[in-house]
Amino acid sequence: MPVSRDYARKMCRSEYVAHKVYLYAGRYLAKGKLRETLFKASSDELRHYELWKSVSGECRGLSAFLEILAFLAFSALFGATVLAKTLERVEGDASRAYEELSGSVPELDLRSMVEEEKAHEAEFASSIDEARVRYLGSIVLGVSDAIVELTGIYAGALGALESARTAGIVGLLAGASASISMAAASYAQAKHEAGRRPGAAALYTGVSYLAAVLALAAPYFLVEALLLAFAFMVVNAVLIVAYISVYSSVLRGKSYLREVVTNAALLLGVSASLYALGRALGLLAV
């Protein structure tokens, strides 16, 4: 059955968006094999767009522009590799859609498009090689440990301390020393793992840990009320968890919602437990 004009416009817009996103990512974000793959895919998608436009008419508009902006913002936040992994799924969806449409648009060689979309999907999968992905385990280790430890310290401070600035200083000192310890542990672990450079693993772990420490400590130097500073700290922690969960969900095929909920529940559970402990210690000190 012939496709509707609206559906043809949708497919046309999709190919145009893919062309622009691949082109931008190839120019400004990717390197090596991934850059070459993105440029080739961009050229193919431009041709697909022109073919669909011959059927649907011009399909560019505000929605296409906004979709491109959303993809570009996503790639700026999470890097070319996560974008490529996401687009790998998009290409898989596109190839399945073209297979279902086979024969319904006589003007187009949909079989050829199917093969090209499948080739893009395979090329994206084989081109993924970015430092932040290769050392994802080190980054997640640093960030996760910092969130659990600092959240515990600040929760305990609610029951044991009265000054937000004092709590912030305690957290910074504990976090700075812990970041060095975690970096050393990551270095020692990477020495026994093939394909990982110990120095890089230590750097990613230590820097990610320290970055999380600074983000969690910031409210204690900006807000005077201890409880309010803690509330902002928890918000920052949840935002960091949400950010890191994107990597594990996209790259490892896990449920994003499950990752966020599980990690946030752990975070809040640790906070509640150590608040109770800090409160108890505070009463004992009176």
> In what helix (H) or strand (E) does residue 116 lie, and over which residues does it extend?
helix 110-127
Q: How many CA atoms lie within 13 A of 268 on its CB side?
A: 9
The pLDDT of residue 251 is 66
Three-class secondary structure of residue 107 per DSSP: coil
Three-class secondary structure of residue 6 per DSSP: helix
Confidence of residue 186 (pLDDT cuts 50, 70, 90): confident
Confidence of residue 286 (pLDDT cuts 50, 70, 90): low
Residue 182 — φ and ψ, nearest 5°?
Answer: -70, -40
Q: Quick check: 19 and 45 in contact, CB under 8 A?
A: yes
pTM of the model: 0.67
Token couple for 239: 């935002």
Given a cut of 80, is residue 270 above it in pLDDT?
no
The structural domains of the chain, ordered by start, are: 5-129 (1.20.1260), 132-285 (no CATH)
Confidence of residue 285 (pLDDT cuts 50, 70, 90): low
Q: Using alpha carbons only, what angle is made at residue 173 by residues 265 and 282, rounded to the nearest 5 degrees?
A: 65
Nearest Cα residue to 8 out of 45, 53, 44, 46: 53
Three-class secondary structure of residue 267 per DSSP: helix
Q: Which residue reads 């050829």 in tokens? A: 112
> Is the CA virtual torsion 8, 9, 12, 18 positive or negative?
negative
CA 12 to chain centre: 28
Summarize pLDDT for 123-149 with one digit per residue, the tens.
766 666 555 566 666 677 777 778 877
E-only strand ranges, the chain: none
Q: Quick check: 114 and 98 in contact, CB under 8 A?
A: yes
The pLDDT of residue 214 is 92
Three-class secondary structure of residue 108 per DSSP: coil
**Average confidence (pLDDT) over 190-209:** 78
The pLDDT of residue 107 is 63
Q: How far apart are CA 35 and CA 182, in angstroms?
A: 34
Calculate Rg over the CA atoms of the chain. 24
Summarize pLDDT for 97-107 with one digit per residue, the tens.
777 776 666 66
Q: How far apart are CA 20 and CA 82, in angstroms?
A: 17
Summarize pLDDT for 23-82 with one digit per residue, the tens.
888 888 777 777 888 888 889 889 888 888 888 888 888 888 998 888 888 878 877 767
The pLDDT of residue 56 is 82
Mean pLDDT of the chain: 78
